[in-house]
Amino acid sequence: MTDTTIDPSPDSAPPEREPGGRAGRRGRRGRGERPAHVVQPAWKQPRNPYRPVEIVSADQLEAIHEASLVILEDIGIEFLDEEARAILKRGGARIENGSVNVHIDRGMVDEAVARAPEKFTMHARNPERNLEVGGAWCLFCSVGSAPNAADMEGGRRAGNSTDFINLVKLAQTLNAVHALGGYPVEPQDWHPSVRHLDGLAAIVTLSDKVFHAYSLGRERIVDGLEIARIARGVSSEELDAQPSLFTVVNANSPLRYDKPMLQGIMEMARRGQVAIVTPFTLAGAMAPVTIAGAVAQQNAEALAGLVLTQLVRPGAPFVYGGFTSNVDMKSGAPAFGTPEYMKGALLGGQLARRYGLPYRSSNVCAANTVDAQAAYESVFSLWGAIMGGANILKHGAGWMEGGLHASFEKFVLDADLLQMVAAFLEPIETDADALALDAIREVGPGGHFFGAAHTRSRYKTAFFSPMISDWRNYETWAEDGRPDAYGKANRLCKQLLAEYEPPPMDPATREELEAFVARRKEEGGVPTDF
Amino acid sequence: MTDTTIDPSPDSAPPEREPGGRAGRRGRRGRGERPAHVVQPAWKQPRNPYRPVEIVSADQLEAIHEASLVILEDIGIEFLDEEARAILKRGGARIENGSVNVHIDRGMVDEAVARAPEKFTMHARNPERNLEVGGAWCLFCSVGSAPNAADMEGGRRAGNSTDFINLVKLAQTLNAVHALGGYPVEPQDWHPSVRHLDGLAAIVTLSDKVFHAYSLGRERIVDGLEIARIARGVSSEELDAQPSLFTVVNANSPLRYDKPMLQGIMEMARRGQVAIVTPFTLAGAMAPVTIAGAVAQQNAEALAGLVLTQLVRPGAPFVYGGFTSNVDMKSGAPAFGTPEYMKGALLGGQLARRYGLPYRSSNVCAANTVDAQAAYESVFSLWGAIMGGANILKHGAGWMEGGLHASFEKFVLDADLLQMVAAFLEPIETDADALALDAIREVGPGGHFFGAAHTRSRYKTAFFSPMISDWRNYETWAEDGRPDAYGKANRLCKQLLAEYEPPPMDPATREELEAFVARRKEEGGVPTDF
């Protein structure tokens, strides 16, 4: 735990300027306009009231499902872990002698689908932060696994523990972020042998929200489970009965699972914890160039992960992850928030519902800076996720550049987008008072509603109030130095970090956590070959 | 027609710089990277394959409908035109002596709903640009009625004919724009007595797409109809049988229609032309602070317009317009692309479908500059429009600042958003070749699809290729001066204007058009008191 040494402001990053003279614009901002406290809606897990979009017909859906079964039965999936293959073989899979290729028949798929839960609860160390997964419930995660971080002043730099800690603090402070979706940035200054110990200990100390552990072999998951157990103050048996940790694995598409991720999801399943299996099917690269083909492959890979987890422990909580996007066929660069991405998100959701599985999608973009592109790609991906009925939104706040950097400003801007989405998910009231006939009668033709009693009684909470959007008139805005959303997010980010308050933690819990981390570090953490 | 004197680049605007040193960034752009020709998808009117979102239950929808009937029957709507009142009275409306307040009963509403067409065709002077309205068809209009224009170099300035002409050229050049939705910016240097003559003559000369005329009294509509007739080369009888012009009126909410707009929609209906009636119901200002109340009022006002047009001419093409948004309750400033706006857009669509009427929504934002806010508010409004089943999208390209300025850069950026939406509306193929089992088998576990025959045969057209999005890797992008989407749109805009080609026009048509405009100008146009 090194948080006490951290400057709460990203200003502590090197003062290098982005080219283009933005510093000049910055100089005009912030004079006395900082509100006393950043105002945001209270913590609340949203429910999605909208019927998800069905992007294909029932027949088309069955054609995709059938194609996935052909992949599983005839082509096969490689499982690069002996134990996983043994479990699958015992469960009825066909594996030729000496092969790593596993053929799973439709009966095994049906059985796994029948065993997996439609809904479950994820338990946080603060029970008020518990999260429902499945049905109409939505939850939004912070960005995960970016190798770099960036902010306006410091530019883009390799991931480090200072940025890691500050991004965790943002995730804790912003109510629109419901869970920590992995390391927001890779803390590369923490050695990989102990990174998971320092990283997860920092996350459970700086935050009281549900969190994620990486499936990089069995030991890191075992350590993550112990950290989750200590933080919650429960027994191992209680932990095993209450999902409290989640892991995301991206199959090594096409058609392969590597050993570390298989060890991770097996250990998670064994302990009744949550595996989100998300094939990384970029159409045209790791998957067919067609959306239907890429999603058929995604579906086969996800179902293979489902079968394994349900053989390890029937009823283990499982989330169907969709991440199909496309590449730029001119350069091979991955693209996100594209029309193809949106269709993939809708189709993934339709398949997950077919199987009665909770669905995971993402808030993604390929932009290098927090500009209009970053925003439109993100909102297009939110459109696909929400209309696709996603239950878990990964990378909800902070993701940039196809995941290659986490941005402080984008984190705050995304949190505002997520708040807007949550407000959009609040049902419309249509009772007599909401229909407002008395107010319409009172105001009458040509009148104005500002002063009406109906308005006065509701105006404070009637509308969502964004953090970022600048609705001032042009003249006032121009006099204030023409701030853009990027600059406003930069200021807000600093204020949010300054306002960060660590969630309370019982001293005994803190002591137990520190002792565990110290012991495991003494043992060398998880051995690495460097 | 003054287009021949116009510099095709917005550089011709004053070289004033926006504060913030963007010029320094601009300086790094554009060296040899301008493509030979801006590549965009071919002209095509999209169809929306998605089932629209039902935001309220059938019972709630009826409650809103009933509230609207109470407004129409009991509270009444003011019609500030004697002829309109006479028509409504003959149709069964109740008007007390000396009153302008009109009470319309539910029977009149039912009759009007039964008479109005669910679908119709709008005819352009180029038949390839004809547009279907209703059902699953969508069409996207350019920004309309902005009093100011802006671009990166010239900043924001009062609307003028140079900007007007350049924006019309952009609307013609960009295939994602299907119709001219009014003056993209108000050409304030053309006197109001003849502005409609110069403006509409410029539009039908510079463009061959469907266009709009303002309901600012009867005479301007009569002139607009004659210009549409001449441009199409048809007789008055043919014109009357074929919708070729549309008008949008915003009721003077709450509960009032003024004389010029009533004269306009009556003349349009009489001639079988298209009235899009769109109450301007900003919740908390011109309408109740609740979404249900604001939309109930919107619905009453729109239905009142429907009743009038259907009394004037049963079967006259009518479009139900929704524009409900909210204001910032702290400042009274209008807000757009908000969660409340999205809900209003969905609810408006659900009501329009209840009545079997085509539905109009918009692509709007309140941002002052082309930043992340402009993009996220726009995409949120597109989300509401598309998922609300909108048939006509007004202000599809170029709208900024709550409609107070048309932006050249936003115009191009929006056209890219519209192209992305159109690509999103293309159905997914699921035939055997699209399912790609052979390719998946060929590539196998751990392989790569770039070189697969399936990929090679499809890669050129597999994915939508955006104009603006920058998918280059960070290093290449940084070396190129870190261009943002705003800057890229600025460069593209200049290129598009340079590439503008006037659509062919028969010399006799041009002569007839010029003669008509000259004669009407000699007559003084439409008299004004200034």
Per-residue pLDDT tens over the stretch B445-483 = 999 999 999 999 998 899 999 999 999 999 999 999 999
Q: Which residues contact B135 (CB under 8 A, 6 or more apart)?
A: B47, B118, B119, B391
Q: Which of A330, A341, A449 to mutate to test the interface with B (most CBs of B within 10 A)?
A: A449
Neighbours of B184 (CB within 10 A): 34
Average pLDDT, chain A: 93
Residue B34 predicted with pLDDT over 60: no
CA distance A29 to chain B (A): 11
CB contact (8 A) between residue A471 and residue B284: no
User: For A71, which DSSP code?
Assistant: I
CA distance B227 to chain A (A): 34
Cα(B220)–Cα(B195) distance, rounded to whole angstroms? 10
What are the extents of the domains in chain B? 45-423+466-530
pLDDT at B528: 87
Q: Over the stretch B121-159, which tens digit does the pLDDT of each residue have?
A: 999 999 999 999 999 999 999 999 999 999 999 999 999
- Tokens 């509308």, residue? A463
Average pLDDT for residues A244-253, to the nearest whole number? 97
Reported as a pLDDT band with limits 50, 70 and 90, residue B1 is very low
| Lowest-confidence segment of A458-462, B294-298, B408-412 by average pLDDT | A458-462
pLDDT at B494: 98
Neighbours of B70 (CB within 10 A): 16
Q: What is the DSSP string of B174-219?
A: -TT--EE-S-SB--TTS-TTTHHHHHHHHHHHH--SEEE---SSHH
Of the candidates A67, A289, A482, the beta carbon closest to that of B449 is on: A289
Size of interface A-B (CB pairs under 8 A): 422
Of the candidates B50, B64, B428, the beta carbon closest to that of A435 is on: B64
Q: Cβ(B381)–Cβ(B414) under 8 Å?
A: no
Average pLDDT for residues A64-79, to the nearest whole number? 98
Count of alpha carbons within 13 Å of A431, Cβ hemisphere only?
A: 1
CB contact (8 A) between residue A63 and residue B430: yes
CB contact (8 A) between residue A21 and residue B25: yes
User: For A101, which DSSP code?
Assistant: E
pLDDT at B490: 98
CA distance A221 to chain B (A): 25
pLDDT at A22: 32
CA distance B268 to chain A (A): 25
CB contact (8 A) between residue B463 and residue A338: yes
Q: Which of B428, B458, B464, B473 to mutate to test the interface with A (most CBs of A within 10 A)?
A: B428
CA distance A243 to chain B (A): 32
Residue A282 predicted with pLDDT over 50: yes
Pairing of strands A131-133, A256-257: unpaired
Average pLDDT for residues A310-330, to the nearest whole number? 96
pLDDT at B152: 98
| Lowest-confidence segment of A189-193, A406-410, A526-530 by average pLDDT | A526-530
Q: Over the stretch A139-183, which tens digit does the pLDDT of each residue have?
A: 999 999 999 999 999 999 999 999 999 999 999 999 999 999 999
Measure CA of the first residue to CA of the last residue in chain A; give whole Å: 23
Phi/psi of residue B465, nearest 5 degrees? -115, 105
Q: Which of B419, B440, B457, B459 to mutate to test the interface with A (most CBs of A within 10 A)?
A: B440
Residue A20 predicted with pLDDT over 50: no
CA distance A149 to chain B (A): 13
Cα(B97)–Cα(A280) distance, rounded to whole angstroms? 72
Average pLDDT, chain B: 93
Query: pLDDT above 70 covers what percent of chain B?
Result: 93
H-type helices in A182-258, by residue range? Answer: 195-206, 218-232, 236-241
Structure tokens at A344: 């993939």
Q: Cβ(A72)–Cβ(A255) under 8 Å?
A: no
Q: Which of left, alpha, beta for A92 (phi over 0: left; psi -120 to 50: alpha)?
A: left
Cβ contacts of B296 on chain A, cutoff 8 Å? 435-437, 440
Identify any residues that bridge with B248 across adjacent strands, giving them in sequence order: B276
Inter-CA distances, B84 with B122, B299, B319, Å? 25, 19, 19
Average pLDDT for residues A317-343, to the nearest whole number? 95
Reported as a pLDDT band with limits 50, 70 and 90, residue A529 is confident
pLDDT at A330: 84
pLDDT at A385: 98
Cβ contacts of A434 on chain B, cutoff 8 Å? 290-293
Of the candidates B54, B417, B429, the beta carbon closest to that of A376 is on: B417
pLDDT at A516: 98
Q: Over the stretch A428-443, which tens digit does the pLDDT of each residue have?
A: 999 999 999 999 999 9
Of the candidates B25, B286, B460, the beta carbon closest to that of A19 is on: B25
CB contact (8 A) between residue A371 and residue B376: no
CB contact (8 A) between residue A379 and residue B376: yes
Identify any residues that bridge with A361 across adjacent strands, giving them in sequence order: A393
Residue A35 predicted with pLDDT over 60: no
Q: Cβ(A317)–Cβ(A121) under 8 Å?
A: no
Sheet architecture: strand order including B334-335 = B282-283, B325-327, B334-335
Reported as a pLDDT band with limits 50, 70 and 90, residue A26 is very low
Angle at A344 between CA A342 and CA A345, to 5 degrees: 65
Of the candidates A296, A376, A387, the beta carbon closest to that of B435 is on: A296
Of the candidates A76, A435, A470, the beta carbon closest to that of B63 is on: A435
H/E stretch holding A348: helix A339-355
Q: What is the pTM of this model?
A: 0.94
Q: Cβ(A345)–Cβ(A360) under 8 Å?
A: no
pLDDT at B35: 54
CA nearest to A327 within chain B: B463
Cβ contacts of A423 on chain B, cutoff 8 Å? 338-340
At the top level of CATH, the class of B45-423+466-530 is alpha beta
Of the candidates A405, A459, A472, the beta carbon closest to that of B333 is on: A472
CA nearest to B443 within chain A: A254
Helix (H, G, I), strand (E, B) or coil at B351: helix
CA distance A499 to chain B (A): 24
CA distance A121 to chain B (A): 27
- Tokens 């705050």, residue? A412
Of the candidates B101, B288, B445, the beta carbon closest to that of A449 is on: B288
Residue B89 predicted with pLDDT over 90: yes
> What CATH number should be reported for the domain whose range is A113-424?
3.20.20.480
Residue A9 predicted with pLDDT over 80: no
pLDDT at B438: 97
